[in-house]
Amino acid sequence: MKTFKLTIEYDGTDFNGWQVQTNAPRTVQGEIEKVLSKIFKKHIAVVGSGRTDTGVHARGQVAHFRAVTAMPADEIQRAMNYNLPFDIVILKVEEAEKDFHAQLDACWKTYSYTILNRSCSSALNHRYCCFFPRRLDFALMRKEAKALVGEKDFRSFANIDRSRPGRNAIRTIRALSIRKRGDFIVLTIEADGFLYKMVRNIVGTLIEIASGRFPAGSVKAMLQRKDRRAAGLAAPPQGLCLEKVDY
């Protein structure tokens, strides 16, 4: 039995998220398992580093599967990409240590979130960014984001995950940057783990602060409240992308 590590890129627009679900006809995990089962002539279970929601993208999602096979990794990659739909690409297949686990062994994850801040939307980029037409105070957004760095209780920025009741809300954000690229604002966040909708809730809150709905100093106060109702609305999913997973 061999363990293979997959590095995966996908456009999440037309998927019902990563995880196979009852009554969700198209998921990223489901499409990959379907193809692997075709290649190996038996059901192959795939375990991802974590779940991404409907509409969320990935440049560097990591997953693993186990199989009894003599096929080399590069041949598996070619076979998978030949059979997968256009919106999923296997960037790399590697034979890993037998006990490698894509989820349990992950140390750090990096997400990016892209905001288009101008008066009109984009025909080419609307699937990959959040369009916000009103002026955003970029300097204030960066200043407020500094309060999020470090080990914190992020309960105020996490939706209830009914599959994991009572989950510990302590996470460590190691790095958070916000940069302007023309009309685009790109937030990049690296942490040892993320709670359900944590990044989208953080971004949505920073947008509301930068647009004047909440005053300066709000992020620090929201963290202290430890109450989801204290923070802003979640930003839409299409601006979010899982960039990489470190082990």
Q: How many CB atoms lie within 10 A of CB 244?
A: 17
Q: How many CB atoms lie within 10 A of CB 198?
A: 23
| Strand, helix or coil for residue 90 | strand
| Strand, helix or coil for residue 176 | strand
Q: Which of 53, 87, 153, 183 is catalytic?
A: 53
Task: Give, as one character, the DSSP assignment of residue 83.
Answer: H
Q: Give the residue from 91, 89, 93 showing the smallest Cα distance to 73.
A: 93
Distance CA 127, CA 50 (A): 22
Q: Which residues are within 8 A (CB) of 241 and not within 5 positions of it... i.e. 6 or more apart? A: 56, 57, 58, 59, 111, 112, 113, 114, 128
The yes-or-no answer on residue 53 being catalytic is yes
Place of tokens 């996470």: 171
Q: Which residues are within 8 A (CB) of 9 and not within 5 positions of it... i.e. 6 or more apart? A: 58, 59, 60, 61, 88, 89, 91
Contact assessment for residue 235 and residue 207, using Cβ atoms and an 8 Å cutoff: yes
Distance CA 22, CA 232 (A): 30
Residues with active-site annotation: 53
